[in-house]
Amino acid sequence: MAVGEHRPTRLVIDRQALRHNIQTEVKRLKSDCELFMVVKANGYGHGAAQVAQAAKDAGATGFCVAILDEALELRAAGFDEPILVLGVTRPEDAVLMAQARVSTVVADLKWLQEASRYLELTHHNRPLNVHLGLDTGMGRIGFRTTDDLKAALNFLGVKVDDFNFEGIFTHFSTADDPDDTYFKQQVAKWQELTAVLPFRPRYVHVSNSATSLWHAACNDNMVRFGVAGYGLNPSGTAIPETPYPLRPAMQLVSELVYTKRLHAGESVSYGATYTAQTDEWIGTVPIGYADGYERRLQGFHVLVGGQFCEIVGRVCMDQLMIRLPQNYVRGTKVTLVGANGGQQITLQDVADYCGTIHYEIACGFTSRLPRHYLN
């Protein structure tokens, strides 16, 4: 997809906000606890390499991604720090991961057995770093019983030339919920499973952003810091108070490219779903659902001159229309996410209107939107 550099619509990413959030969290951690910045999904839409550099500058010592290609992208960008792939990889990529010094999650013994065969077919010069995933209640991937975990540990003990047992982890599904009942059940399951470990590997990690913010006692020696690093509350609005102010790093801005006087009875956009009741000014903004600005945002608002302006008519693939309080000249700034004239629209506001979470909104902005970086 072409990047729209010759269009006034862009995402503006504040690297100082990223550094503030990450640096502040690093200072809260115990001296033996490391922070790995989660930069999957193109850094939650913020730009993976740029976020990784800001995180490194702020004290992150490693990175987490979702798929192998994201790890290789960071290696190609020159990052030598540890990188952990959180998703299940293919056993046939074991040699590639070992050569690239990329660590991978292991969820069952069969994966280890298959990967071992690929490793033994080559003259690899380093073992593959693996982190055993434990399913303590997330229900996604990982070992669920002590017997299965013991079998994997025994296999790793035999295949020391092929694998380096680098880490063990779990993922909490309700760390961002004010009710910690299920969270405590997962902690108990984690303790039951890890009791069979013959030794502690280099990295023991359970904490995502929510766990580190509100259950820091669980942090152990590594934190996977994700959405909070981007300045977004992991709970949405369920737990409004965070240990320190989070600074959102992302703004979405554009400009008016066209204005017109609409007369009473005239309609706007596909399906003629909006009809003016009186004469009014309508502005066109060059952004649409092909950029990840959801079609369902009809009826929401943007900011122009510090005033909230309703999105009227259906959001199109590449354009949307807004009702203006007065006529504005072409080129007037339009803020879709961020501050404008003393008012603000947050990613949370957009998510609430769409009935989803801010993660989805941030990750949904497509590559057609250029990312411009400040500070």
Is 317 labelled as part of a ligand binding site? yes
- Please name the amino acid found at residue 308: F
- Please name the amino acid found at residue 192: E
What distance in Å separates the CA atoms of residue 322 and residue 332, rounded to the nearest whole number?
13
Is 1 labelled as part of a ligand binding site? no
- Please name the amino acid found at residue 303: L
- Choose, from 27, 30, 40, 244, the residue flagged as catalytic: 40
- Choose, from 27, 184, 244, 270, the residue flagged as catalytic: 270
Sign of the Cα torsion 88, 90, 95, 96 reads: negative
Task: Write the CA distances from 256 to 70, 259, 287, 335, integer angstroms.
Answer: 36, 7, 10, 10
Q: Which among 109, 47, 2 is positioned nearest to 374, based on CA atoms?
A: 47
- Under 8 Å CB-to-CB from 319, ≥6 apart: which residues? 284, 285, 286, 287, 288
Task: Write the CA distances from 217 to 30, 214, 310, integer angstroms.
Answer: 10, 9, 45
| DSSP string across 183-219 | HHHHHHHHHHHHTT-SS--SEEE-B-HHHHHH-GGG-
Can 40 be counted among the known catalytic residues?
yes
Q: Please, what is the Cα angle at 260 between 323 and 276, to 5 degrees?
A: 50
Annotated binding site: 140, 317
Catalytic residues: 40, 270
